[in-house]
Structure 1
Amino acid sequence: MADQPLSLEFASLNEARALHKMLFEHKFDTPEGVFFGSPLIAAIQHRLLELVIDADSADGRAAARPQWEQWRQAEAHPHLLTVVCRHLTENAATVAAWTPEQREAYVRTILAPLIPSAALLRELITA
C-alpha cells in the first residue's frame, strides 16, 4: 500500500513554484538536515521541477524549458557547489568507505534537482 502512486493537485503554477523554491532553498541552507541527503526528497524535487518546467512550457513560454535546463546545471550554482564540497569534505571518511556507485548516487541526491556534468560528477566523487 505504501508504494502506490499518489497525486497532488496544485491550485496554481505559483503554488508549485513556491514549494520547489522552499525545498530547494531549505535543503541547501541546512546541509546537516535530513533533507540534504534524502533520496526521497531528491526524487520529489526532480518530479516537482519537471512539473513546473512542463507547466511553464505549456503556458505558451517556448523558451521556458531551455531556461530551466540551463538553470538546472549544477555548474551554474557555484555557491551551492561550495556547500556540497564542504559537506563532502566534512564527511570524507564516511564517503570514502562507499563504492564509486554509492558516492555517485549520493552526490546526485544532494545536488537534486540540479544535474552535474560528467566532469563535475567525477570531480565530486573522487575528491
Structure 2
Amino acid sequence: MVLLVAAWVVGALLMFMSAMGLSSTVLAQRGEQVEATVISLRDGTEKGRHIYYTLADPDGRRISGELGTWPGSTVGASDNPEGRVGQSVTVIRDPKGLVDPRLPEEVDAEATWIAWLFFFVVTAVLCALAGRPRVARRGWQGWRRAEAHAGRVELIRHHLTRPDEWWQNADREQRAAYVQDLLAPLRPSDKLLAELTSTIGGVVTATDDSNGDGRDEAEVDK
C-alpha cells in the first residue's frame, strides 16, 4: 500500500515534469526571444498571491499564453517582485502559440528531461515493487512452520510410533491436539498434521479421502 501511494505521488510529479519538459523543448527548438510589454495582470487561484502576465510583442500583438514568473522571483517566497502594466520584460515565446512564454533562464530542456527521466525511473521501480507477488512472510511467522524443523518433526514421529494404548484408542481430534502440543510453538501444515495423527505402531494408517475420488490411501511402512 505504501509503495502504491509513493508511486502515485511520484507519478504526479512525473506528469508535471512531462509538461515542463514539453514547454522547455518547444521553446528551446523554435522559441523567439522578444522584448515584451505587460498589457494586463491576473491573480491566480493558487493559495497566496501569484500573478500571471499577459504580454504583447514589440509590434503590439498579444503573445499567446501567459507569463507565470517575473524576473527575480523565487518559488515559495512571499516577497517576490511583481511587474506592472506597461513594464517591459524579456521572454522566449512560441511563434505558433503552443506553449506559454517563459523567461530565458527557465528554458533548459536538457535539465528538465534529465529530471523527467529520474522521476520516470523512480515511478517504474515503485510500480514494479508494488506489483510483485507477495512472498511468504519471514521472521517469527516463518520460523514457526513445523516443516522447517525436520529434526524436531522426526523426533515426534519416532515418539508416536512407539506402542501406546491411549494413542491407539484416541480419536483424530485428540491426536491432533496432542501433536500440536508436542510441536508448540511450531505450527504444522494440514498435510503434516494428518500424517502425524495417522501414525500407529510404525505405519501411517489410511486417512480420510482428501481427493474426493472415493479412494483411501494405502498403508505406508515406516
Q: When the two structures are superposed, what TM-score results if normalisation uses the length of structure 2?
A: 0.27
Higher relative strand content:
2
Larger radius of gyration: 2
Q: When the two structures are superposed, what TM-score results if normalisation uses the length of structure 1?
A: 0.46
Higher relative contact order (CA 8 A, sep 6+): 1
